[in-house]
């Protein structure tokens, strides 16, 4: 597990996006947990063209949708620590993500 990185107030910047609502559903199993999230996202500044970067690790991405449309692999970038949407919609949108977590 990585050592937490200290963040100082002087380094804080306002986020490019806010979450209005977050709905989570958990399906608990013996081997894995499936998490379904539905997030209403809106830009801090209307027309924002910044990437949306979400933190997370030790997750297996099952699916991702924006406004009910399934995204293709070229529409997002996934690495060990982040899920990035390089070109999210410029206005409000609904982000739906399904992940698997292996808590063992």
| Model pLDDT, residue 97 | 98
Q: What CATH code is assigned to 10-101?
A: 2.60.40.1730
In this predicted structure, which of 2-6, 64-68, 69-73 has the lowest mean pLDDT? 2-6
Q: What is the pTM assigned to this prediction?
A: 0.86
Does position 76 have pLDDT exceeding 80, yes or no?
A: yes
Q: Which of 24-28, 46-50, 53-57 has the highest mean pLDDT?
A: 24-28
To which residue do tokens 């804080």 refer? 12
Strand partners, 17: 43
Closest CA to 85 of 20, 7, 16: 16
Residue 19 tokens read as 């979450």
């Amino acid at each position: 597990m990585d050592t937490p990185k200290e963040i100082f107030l002087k380094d804080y910047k306002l986020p490019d996006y806010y979450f209005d609502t977050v709905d989570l559903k958990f399906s608990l199993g013996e081997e894995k947990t499936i998490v379904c999230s539905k997030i209403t996202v809106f830009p801090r500044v209307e027309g924002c063209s910044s990437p949306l970067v979400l933190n997370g690790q030790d997750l297996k991405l099952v699916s991702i949708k924006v406004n009910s449309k399934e995204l293709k692999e070229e529409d997002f970038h996934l690495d060990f620590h982040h899920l990035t949407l390089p070109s999210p919609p410029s206005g409000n949108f609904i982000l739906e993500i399904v992940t698997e977590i292996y808590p063992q």
